[in-house]
Amino acid sequence: MADALTVDIVGPDSVLWSGTAKSVTVPTVEGEIGLLSGHVPVLSVLRHGSVRVHASQGDPRSLDIIGGFVSFDHDVVTIVADLADESDEK
């Protein structure tokens, strides 16, 4: 699919979500950023907040985190996250 992001969100011991998305929004220590296809490469530390994934198909997903990091390059997003509470996943 053109203009799609490949997204992997992993926790300490499992894959939390994997798939394709139109966009991803993450809370970095420098502020919230939105990632779309073609965005410049990013490597950033995450702060407490919500990761929002607008999946290519289906409803948007939100995941509350307490920290972690995000890596973005060549339309591939990898998020390593510490969860606020696993029951918060929507």
- Contact of 51 with 84, CB cutoff 8 Å: no
pLDDT computed for residue 57 by the predictor: 85
DSSP string, the chain: -TT-EEEEEE-SSSEEEEEEEEEEEEEETTEEEEEETTPPPEEEEE-SEEEEEEESSS--EEEEEEEEEEEEETTEEEEEEEES-GGG--
Question: Which domains, ranges and CATH numbers included, belong to the chain?
Answer: 5-88 (2.60.15.10)
Q: Is the pTM of this model over 0.85?
A: yes
- Report residue 76 as tokens: 């591939």
pLDDT computed for residue 4 by the predictor: 93
pLDDT computed for residue 75 by the predictor: 97
| CA pair distance 34, 84, nearest whole angstrom | 21
Q: Which residue has the higher pLDDT, 2 or 38?
A: 38
pLDDT computed for residue 85 by the predictor: 64
| CA pair distance 82, 59, nearest whole angstrom | 23
pLDDT in tens, 16-67: 999 999 999 999 999 999 999 999 999 999 999 999 999 988 889 999 999 9
pLDDT computed for residue 12 by the predictor: 87
